[in-house]
């Protein structure tokens, strides 16, 4: 630590400031601190090391997911690791009151519950879009197939009943609106500016590009774009989400933080 260093002690962790740069010292209840959002401190597990530098100004409040909703999210079927769920919540928690959070890829509602927890506290609303027939990689024979979400009547996937039940059990139906349809189709007629867009739909190249094309321009100036499953190294995972992350940077979005494979970007006003 240099002479310009200072520390902020919070109940579960210690953040340091060195030459105006925040630096991780400790661990929250959920893991190491990873990011700071809009001048507010967000706690999440990130797989980072204590002492790793992170960008952004340090100040006041700490956000943690409501315990009951966190339990509900953890219990739901889905593809959102715990630390990334906390990061998703923390990013969404900073949307302005009256703002709109748009999710591409509801599946059974795991990530939707994290977004709903944030929306409720922020005074925002969530719209989540999915056709509920599964992505290419969810179909039988693929790695991410779950036979329990197949409708025995038709043999097709149908995750909508799981989503409805999970949101009902979590008690978040008042802040979440479901849109059932193809994301690129819905994005074509959508007109409301989006405060936070979370892209977690199909991970085939054509689908990720179509989702970006259909939705990225709806992010309001100053709004936030989150992309899930961004793996720069092909050995870690498919490249399509990484490609749309690069496309977003080309389009002027600025990376704010990352937690695991979740990237948070800002649309510069
Ligand atoms: C990776 S899963 C979403 C996981 C979810 N966010 C979670 O936290 O568990 C991707 C979802 O995108 C949906 N999807 C894929 N392509 C789509 C499309 N063109 N239109 C609508 N939904 C689509 C699939 O049905 C699937 O439920």
CATH number, domain at 117?
A: 3.40.50.150
Same domain (yes/no): 189, 228 = yes
* Pairing status of strand 262-267 against strand 219-227: antiparallel
The number of the ligand 1 atom at minimal distance from the alpha carbon of 110 is 8
Confidence of residue 144 (pLDDT cuts 50, 70, 90): confident
Ligand 1 proximity of 111 Cβ (cutoff 6 Å): yes
Side-chain-facing half-sphere of 232: CA atoms under 13 Å:
4
Ligand 1 proximity of 262 Cβ (cutoff 6 Å): no
Residue nearest to atom 25 of ligand 1 (CA): 134
Kindly name the residue from 38, 132, 144, 203 that is annotated as catalytic.
203
**pTM, rounded to two decimals:** 0.81
Same domain (yes/no): 50, 171 = no
Q: What is the mean pLDDT of the chain?
A: 83
Number of domains in the chain: 2
CA of 124 to the centre of ligand 1 (A): 22
Ligand 1 proximity of 105 Cβ (cutoff 6 Å): yes
Can you give the pLDDT at residue 139?
85
Can you give the pLDDT at residue 137?
83
Can you give the pLDDT at residue 145?
87
Can you give the pLDDT at residue 10?
46
Same domain (yes/no): 228, 120 = yes
CA of 170 to the centre of ligand 1 (A): 20
Can you give the pLDDT at residue 62?
54
Among the listed residues 186, 224, 166, the one whose alpha carbon sits nearest the alpha carbon of residue 104: 186
In the predicted structure, residue 229 carries a pLDDT above the cut 90? yes
The number of the ligand 1 atom at minimal distance from the alpha carbon of 80 is 8
In the predicted structure, residue 142 carries a pLDDT above the cut 90? no
Taking only the tens place, the pLDDT of each residue in 46-58 is 333 444 444 443 3
Q: Which of 13-22, 192-201, 241-250 has the least mean pLDDT?
A: 13-22
Taking only the tens place, the pLDDT of each residue in 66-78 is 999 999 999 999 9
Side-chain-facing half-sphere of 224: CA atoms under 13 Å:
26
Taking only the tens place, the pLDDT of each residue in 77-114 is 999 999 999 999 999 999 999 999 999 999 999 999 99
Same domain (yes/no): 51, 73 = no
Same domain (yes/no): 56, 81 = no
Among the listed residues 47, 73, 39, the one whose alpha carbon sits nearest the alpha carbon of residue 262: 47
CA quadruple 190, 192, 198, 201: dihedral, nearest 10: -10
Ligand 1 proximity of 201 Cβ (cutoff 6 Å): yes
Domain span including residue 71: 66-267
Same domain (yes/no): 150, 220 = yes
CB 86 within 8 A of CB 43: yes
Residue nearest to atom 16 of ligand 1 (CA): 202
Same domain (yes/no): 125, 186 = yes
In the predicted structure, residue 254 carries a pLDDT above the cut 90? yes
Q: For residue 55, what is the DSSP state?
A: -
Taking only the tens place, the pLDDT of each residue in 194-228 is 999 999 999 999 999 999 999 999 999 999 999 99
Same domain (yes/no): 154, 31 = no
Ligand 1 proximity of 133 Cβ (cutoff 6 Å): yes
As a whole number of angstroms, the distance between CA 84 and CA 76 comes to 15
218 counts as catalytic = no
Same domain (yes/no): 35, 160 = no
């Amino acid at each position: 630590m240099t002479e310009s260093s200072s520390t902020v002690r919070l109940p579960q962790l210690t953040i340091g400031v060195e030459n105006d740069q925040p630096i991780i010292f400790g661990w929250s209840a959920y893991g190491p601190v990873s990011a700071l959002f809009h001048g507010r401190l967000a706690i999440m597990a990130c797989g980072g090391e204590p002492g790793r530098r992170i960008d952004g100004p340090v100040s006041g409040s700490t956000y943690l997911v409501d315990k009951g909703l966190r339990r509900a999210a953890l219990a739901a079927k889905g593809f959102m690791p715990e630390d990334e769920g906390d990061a998703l919540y923390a990013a969404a928690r900073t949307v302005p009151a009256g703002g709109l959070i748009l999710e591409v890829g509801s599946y059974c509602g795991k990530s939707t519950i994290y977004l709903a927890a944030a929306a409720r506290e922020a005074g925002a609303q969530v719209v989540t879009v999915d056709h509920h027939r599964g992505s290419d990689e969810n179909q039988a024979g693929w790695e991410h197939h779950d036979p329990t979400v197949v409708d025995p009547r038709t043999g097709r996937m149908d995750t909508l009943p799981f989503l409805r039940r999970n949101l009902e059990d979590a008690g978040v139906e008042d802040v979440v609106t479901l849109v059932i349809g193809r994301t690129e189709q819905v994005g074509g007629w959508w007109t409301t500016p989006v405060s936070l867009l979370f892209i977690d739909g199909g991970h085939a190249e054509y689908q990720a590009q179509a989702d970006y094309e259909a939705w990225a321009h709806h992010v309001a100036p100053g709004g936030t774009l989150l992309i899930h499953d961004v793996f720069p190294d092909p050995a870690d995972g498919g490249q399509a989400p990484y490609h749309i992350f690069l496309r977003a940077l080309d389009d002027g979005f600025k990376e704010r933080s990352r937690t695991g494979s979740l990237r948070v970007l800002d649309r510069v006003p």
